[in-house]
Amino acid sequence: MLARAQRPVSFSGAGLSAESGVSTFRDAQTGMWAKYDPVALASPQGFAADPAMVLEWYAHRRRGIAQAEPNAGHNALAGMDWTHITQNVDDLLHRAGAKRVLQLHGSIKIDRCHHECGFEQDVELANPPPMGSCPACSAPLRPGVVWFGEQLPIDIWSEAEAACRECDVLVVVGTSAVVYPAAGLITIARESGAKVIIINTQPSDASALADIELFGTSGTVLPKLLAAKRSD
């Protein structure tokens, strides 16, 4: 299926980065949402209520990502000159050398103005900055990630949607496919005639949309699956 694909696209979630030691959200026990309240930590309301706690949680995640290395799954995807759509806010696909990465939920590598005046700045993940104000408009600065209830970056979304309408194979990696509108991209690809290959360690909400479902870790399955494509 992949060897014949003319326009493959990948769509990934937190499972792609799990083998790099970056926590997923919904894995039982180990997932972040099993330990933390997502609304308290990843929403505008949570930030308004306790900005220091939210920024300390992101500093903790940033330091963790700084220690992480791309795993074999990131490297296998990065070796494919495809559009890589991801829900992940880490920079591991970029560090693996992927050229076209569409981060639907933003990037933890930047801070941006909370009032969306346009200001944003790179952050050193290993040494995350303390709370600060936007130098352009004095609003608070916050991580450049999409919080619950916030809009996705519309230009990134449009590019991702177009890629899913045009692709002929969508490789879905390491996502529970429960968060919308991101998860809706799988249906968009399928309805546009694409074949859907799912890689996950367990069934997900995307299972019903799979033409092929490969159970295993992405760090193990992706290199094998994509070796076929690389042999083109």
Instruction: Kindly list the catalytic residues.
Output: 105
Residue from 27, 120, 161, 166 binding ligand OAD (CB under 6 A) = 27
| Four-CA torsion 47, 52, 55, 60, nearest 10 degrees | -140
Query: Does residue number 11 form part of the binding site for ligand OAD (CB under 6 A)?
Result: no
Radius of gyration of the chain (CA): 18
Residue from 26, 62, 84, 229 binding ligand OAD (CB under 6 A) = 26
Residue from 10, 20, 107, 218 binding ligand OAD (CB under 6 A) = 218
Residue 86 phi, psi (nearest 5): -135, 150
Helix (H) or strand (E) holding 207: none
Contact 96, 77 (CB under 8 A): yes
**Structure tokens, 211:** 């033409």
SS3 call for 111:
strand
Which residue stretch of 90-98, 110-118, 127-135, 170-178 sits at the interface with ligand OAD (rule: CB under 6 A)?
Answer: 170-178
Query: Does residue number 14 form part of the binding site for ligand OAD (CB under 6 A)?
Result: yes
**Structure tokens, 219:** 């760090």
**Cα–Cα distance measured from residue 1 to residue 130, given in angstroms and rounded to the nearest whole number:** 48
Closest CA to 173 of 12, 18, 19: 12
Residue span 34-63 as binding mask against ligand OAD, x where in contact by CB under 6 A, dash where not: ----x-------------------------
Residue from 45, 127, 158, 202 binding ligand OAD (CB under 6 A) = 202
Residue from 179, 189, 196, 197 binding ligand OAD (CB under 6 A) = 179
Residues that bind ligand OAD (CB under 6 A): 13-15, 18-19, 24-27, 31, 38, 87, 105, 145-146, 174-176, 179, 199-202, 204, 217-218
